[in-house]
Amino acid sequence: MSAVADLLRILDLEPLERNLFRGLSPQTDWQRVFGGQVVGQALVAATRTVDGRPPHSLHGYFMRPGDPKAPIIYEVDRIHDGRSFVTRRVNAIQHGQAIFSMAASYHRDEEGYSHQMDMPDVPRPEELPSEQALKEQLMPTMPQAIRLYFERERPIELRHADPMRFLDGKPRPPFQSVWIRATAPLPDDPAIHQCVLAYASDMTLLDTALVAHGDTVFSGEIMAASLDHALWFHRPFRADEWLLYTQDSPFAGGARGLTRGRIYTEGGELVASVAQEGLIRRRRRD
């Protein structure tokens, strides 16, 4: 089974009862569930209870690490059904305890004022080395943690505008840009593309908080975890076409890093915005 087929399978939640769904995790050697998976599955659960209006925002908190060997139960609270907006709350539960809580809002299409920030000028994805080329070129020199990450087949392809930052350890201004897309075609249902982007939006973002320090979450020296996650959908898009995920970190302190992201189509349309705070704690050497 391809990585994208596996992602679509885990996003296809099993309905258990009204407002109650069950999700599974891919069987990998990960010690905890990937945060983007929980965000994506929670959005699927909420969307299954809505009348077809698309989501425009979600806000979630991670409370406990997820157990990849156990199913996750998603309980949806239908807080509000209005003429313009619908609001849902979702709790993700494992072993009788909430591991994640999210609120999502849905809005019917409506005309209004429009503006956006311009897409930054970065190399296009075809100008950057593919993941396969990067593996062949850099794998022998990569630290083991980074090598294991790149060796896995993933449903989302990443092309970093500055891949050398993983190797030279030099501090840089707290910005990075990454092209992302699903590694295989997705069904045409817009809800699937929104949920796949919710999954992908948790990838690489927290690492931006370490760019200014010449470090990375792949380092064995860093304990990293998402604490909260917010995502706003602005326009329709396809998650199986290249999207530029441009990221910055305005602050880090107190073992936490704040990161923000903007997601553009290749044509320069801003389709989503992201914000996240995460734990970036240096491991103690006893």
Residues annotated as catalytic (active site), given as ranges: 202, 226, 276
3 state DSSP class of 192: helix
Q: Is residue 276 within 8 Å of 202, Cβ to Cβ?
A: yes
- Please, are residues 272 and 263 in contact by the beta-carbon 8 Å criterion? yes
Contact 268, 119 (CB under 8 A): yes
Q: Find the Cα–Cα–Cα–Cα dihedral 169, 209, 42, 1, rounded to 10°.
A: -10
Task: State the Cα–Cα distance between residues 122 and 176, nearest whole angstrom.
Answer: 10
Q: Checking DSSP bridges between strand 14-17 and strand 20-23, what pairing results, if any?
A: antiparallel
Give the E-state strand segments of 166-255 in sequence order. 175-182, 222-233, 243-253
CB atoms within 10 A of CB 70: 12
Is the four-CA dihedral 74, 274, 220, 285 of positive or negative sign? negative
